[in-house]
Amino acid sequence: MYVCWSSKGGSGTTVVSASLALLLARSGPTLLVDLDGDAPAALGCPEPAGPGVVDWLHSPHADLAALTRLTEHVVEGLELLPRGSERDSTSNRWAELGEALRALDAQVVVDAGSRPPTAGLVGPDDHSLLVTEACYLSLRRAVTASHRPTGVVLVHEHGRALGVGDVERALGVPVVAHVPYDPMVWRSVDAGLLASRVPNSLTHGLDRITTLTHPGERSDDD
């Protein structure tokens, strides 16, 4: 499971999450879990009218089968679990949600939005990916966050003073994907075309994530 989050709004977490899910769907069944509420718009999909993951969290007896009934089809290989209710996502079922998602026969990407994942959601074999710009204010918040990521997706805009090495030293975790700031990405999202074709800059930037080992393991390149 890949849990994407940011320490500051506007970092591109939803676009990165949606694009990663689309890329993973090329190799097998994939579920995108929308905890922030913007995934349908980013994918160019109609807004789901029914309940979603937040409603599941508030239901004390909802099980894995109930969770899968809430999903919406996006493209071949990719299903979306929408946010659903706008009510507060405070719940004591986050660990149960994590277990349910890991029990699915699918790759899972979670868009946790502009906040660290809630305690219990991320397991020891999951990837917690901080999506951030090379921005001092974003890194400052990330360093003091209650949750430590296992890797960083760096959205890099030309001309920034901070680079990959600065980010890795500040956070103490590796940059696992380097995505250049590309106006074509935002044009694709604005036109509702992201689900039909992920821009090359995102494909190349995120491709390395799909080959990550579990956080507790080492790859042959380490």
Q: Is 116 inside a domain boundary?
A: yes
Q: Within 13 Å, how many C-alpha atoms sit on residue 110's CB side?
A: 28
Report the b/e string of 53-83 with b at 16+ CB within 10 A: bbbbbbeeebeeeebeebbbebbebbbbbbb
Position 123 in a domain: yes
Higher pLDDT, 53 or 210: 53
pTM as predicted: 0.91
pLDDT for res 174:
95
Strand, coil or helix: what is 88? coil
Residue 165 in any domain: the answer is: yes
- What is the number of structural domains in the chain? 1
Q: How far is CA 72 from CA 3, 21, 44, 106, 219, in A?
A: 19, 14, 13, 15, 34
Residue 221 falls inside a structural domain: no
Mean pLDDT, residues 173-183? 91
Residue 145 lies in a domain: yes
How far is the C-alpha of 194 from the C-alpha of 42, rounded, in Å?
A: 7
Q: Which CATH number goes with the domain that contains 57?
A: 3.40.50.300
Q: Who wins on pLDDT, 83 or 156?
A: 83
pLDDT at 88: 79
Query: How many Å apart are CA 136 and CA 202, to the nearest integer?
Result: 23
pLDDT at 161 over 80: no
Domain-embedded: residue 81: yes
On the 0-12 / 13-18 / 19+ scale of CB atoms within 10 A, 220 is exposed
The reply to whether 155 falls in a domain is: yes
Residue 104 within a domain: yes
Q: What is the residue range of 125's domain?
A: 2-211
Render pLDDT for 29-83 as a digit per residue (tens, 0 to 9): 999 999 999 999 999 999 998 999 999 999 999 999 999 999 999 999 999 999 9
* Both tokens assigned to 27: 């190799």
What band does 218 get if pLDDT is binned at 50, 70 and 90?
A: very low
pLDDT at 219: 45
